[in-house]
């Protein structure tokens, strides 16, 4: 029987779902799958992109763990594609490869002042508070007044972590250095700005509702943002999610002014114009917008400014180019057709596939990744004529290659070691876990 030796680069949800779908599919060939991950631990943005106070979302890790523990997948952690293993290496050891490297960079916001000291990308901040090993351990948290630009769940996560009192994060898996940093934060006001109206936000209702439950944090919305046009009224009447969001926001409108020590403001119909400051962030200038009748907004010519000392842009993630692969700089993805990677002439490249955000861009929730992976796997299974013919297909050959290069890779057993270690660190104080942040320490614990 024909055997498929498949490499998957990226062990986040996209890569793990792809492996699971292929293993469960009815097929006429045997499958052997190796997952390569640049970090010592798997799960990608589920581990390093979801706020620590969202355990319900992190519950998806249980399903991902079941896939990895099925016994049919090998994990090679702490292996960086392009440095520790190359495309030529993959061709020597596998029949095909799927790239599922995601999107971890911040999308750009091209306005004056964006490079001032105190102006940050939300993705970098998320990586800091989630304990990503490749980011600095310290984060400057000296601002009393902060702006967050964006109307999606990442913007809400960033705003919530900034506004929430550090002690209220202690039951979570927040790293010790992050707790210490947030504990010293002098923040009093966090302002979230969106270009469009309340009926067009990308928040999930659950995320929004949780904002109103933060201890000692007042939620503030402004009446001027709720003069709905007909399109917004229709969205509220016909879309249950929009209806719930509208209900939550209007409940906040009726609340009496609170006496909390911190305030979280939601501003709608505000288009960013400029970050003001002399060398560092001192203010934020924006233009009021109004619905254009076609689902978008247009400027009103009314400009306002508020004083701030820090700004976070949460306007989306963006993919990164990979060595020896084509890349679409405009959209931040690997050019592809239904997961088949395309060359400069829009022709499929034999043996190379993509799935997840590096395939379709950073849109959709984690659940969308499954259907996305199914589409890619269909082409892998039907592309047998284009599979590579590796010279060293035996499973131990790639292990020997990495060892010969001195790569300190981790495996699935190593991840179990690290997982158990982090859980044990948190247990004495009733915390979910305490993440190990240092990469070398992660590798040392993993490898015993």
- Residue whose token pair is 């989630």: 130
- Let me know whether 338 and 207 are in one domain: no
- Let me know whether 177 and 299 are in one domain: yes
Inside any domain, residue 286: yes
CATH number of the domain to which 370 belongs: 3.40.50.720
Q: Which segments of 355-430 are extended strands (E)?
A: none
d(CA 48, CA 37): 13
pLDDT for 1 equals: 63
- Among 273, 296, 317, the domain-final residue is 317
- Let me know whether 175 and 299 are in one domain: yes
DSSP state of 107: P
- Let me know whether 269 and 228 are in one domain: yes
- Let me know whether 142 and 216 are in one domain: yes
- Let me know whether 334 and 385 are in one domain: yes
- Let me know whether 296 and 261 are in one domain: yes
Residues of the chain under the 70 pLDDT cut:
1, 58, 364-367
- Let me know whether 235 and 99 are in one domain: no
- Let me know whether 127 and 268 are in one domain: yes
- Among 258, 282, 317, the domain-final residue is 317
CATH number of the domain to which 151 belongs: 3.50.50.60
Inside any domain, residue 436: no
The per-residue pLDDT of the chain, averaged, comes to: 93
Give the domain range for residue 397. 3-104+320-409
- Among 299, 317, 335, the domain-final residue is 317
pLDDT for 269 equals: 97
pLDDT for 432 equals: 83
Inside any domain, residue 431: no
d(CA 271, CA 251): 25
Pairing of strands 119-121, 310-313: parallel
Inside any domain, residue 440: no
d(CA 22, CA 314): 34
Q: For residue 119, how far is the Cα from the chain centroid?
A: 20
pLDDT for 188 equals: 97
At residue 58, the 3 state secondary structure works out as helix
- Let me know whether 308 and 337 are in one domain: no
pLDDT for 376 equals: 95
Q: Is the pTM of this model over 0.85?
A: yes
Inside any domain, residue 428: no
pLDDT for 104 equals: 85
d(CA 250, CA 37): 45
d(CA 148, CA 114): 13
Inside any domain, residue 131: yes
- Per-residue pLDDT tens for 29-86? 889 999 999 999 999 988 998 888 887 776 788 889 999 998 889 999 999 999 999 9
Inside any domain, residue 429: no
- Per-residue pLDDT tens for 210-245? 898 999 999 999 999 999 999 899 999 999 999 999
| Total domains present in the chain | 2
Per the DSSP assignment, residues forming a β-bridge with 99 are 9, 354
d(CA 381, CA 206): 38
d(CA 77, CA 207): 32
Q: In the chain, what percentage of residues exceed pLDDT 90?
A: 77
């Amino acid at each position: 029987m024909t055997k498929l030796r498949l490499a998957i680069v990226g062990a986040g949800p996209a890569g793990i779902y792809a492996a699971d779908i292929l293993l469960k599919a009815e097929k006429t060939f045997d499958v052997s799958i190796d997952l390569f991950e640049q970090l010592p631990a798997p799960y990608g943005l589920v581990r390093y992109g979801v706020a620590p106070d969202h355990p319900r979302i992190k519950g998806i890790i249980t399903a991902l763990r079941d896939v990895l523990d099925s016994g049919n997948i090998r994990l090679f952690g702490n292996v960086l594609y392009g440095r520790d293993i190359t495309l030529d290496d993959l061709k020597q050891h596998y029949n095909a490869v799927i790239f599922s490297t995601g999107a971890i960079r911040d999308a750009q916001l091209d306005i004056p002042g964006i490079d001032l000291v105190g102006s940050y990308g939300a993705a970098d901040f998320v990586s800091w508070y989630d304990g990503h090993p490749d980011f600095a351990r310290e984060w400057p948290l000296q601002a009393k007044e902060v702006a967050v630009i964006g109307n999606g769940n990442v913007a809400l996560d960033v705003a919530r972590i900034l506004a929430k009192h550090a002690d209220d994060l202690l039951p979570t898996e927040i790293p010790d250095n992050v707790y210490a940093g947030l504990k010293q934060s002098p923040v009093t006001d966090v302002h979230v700005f969106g270009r469009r109206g309340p009926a067009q936000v990308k928040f999930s209702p659950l995320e929004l509702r949780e904002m109103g439950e933060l201890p000692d944090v007042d939620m503030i919305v402004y009446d001027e943002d709720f003069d709905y046009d007909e399109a917004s009224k229709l969205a509220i009447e016909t879309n249950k999610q929009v209806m719930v969001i509208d209900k939550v926001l209007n409940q906040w409108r009726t609340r009496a002014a609170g006496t909390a020590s911190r305030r979280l403001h939601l501003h709608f119909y505000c288009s960013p114009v400029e970050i003001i400051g002399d060398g560092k962030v001192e203010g934020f200038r924006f233009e009021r917008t109004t619905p254009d009748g076609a689902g978008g907004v247009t400027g009103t010519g009314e400009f306002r400014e508020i004083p701030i000392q820090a700004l976070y842009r949460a306007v989306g993630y963006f993919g990164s180019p990979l060595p020896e692969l084509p890349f679409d700089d405009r959209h931040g993805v690997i050019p592809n057709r239904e997961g088949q990677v395309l060359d400069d002439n829009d022709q499929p490249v034999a043996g190379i596939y993509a799935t997840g955000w590096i395939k379709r861009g950073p849109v959709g929730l984690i659940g969308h990744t499954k259907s996305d992976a199914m589409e890619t796997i269909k082409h892998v299974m039907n592309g047998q004529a284009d599979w590579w013919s590796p010279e060293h297909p035996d499973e131990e050959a790639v292990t020997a290659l990495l060892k010969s290069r001195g790569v300190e890779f981790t495996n699935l057993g190593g991840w179990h070691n690290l997982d158990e270690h982090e859980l044990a660190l948190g247990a004495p104080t009733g915390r979910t876990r305490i993440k190990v942040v240092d990469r070398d320490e992660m590798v040392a614990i993993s490898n015993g």
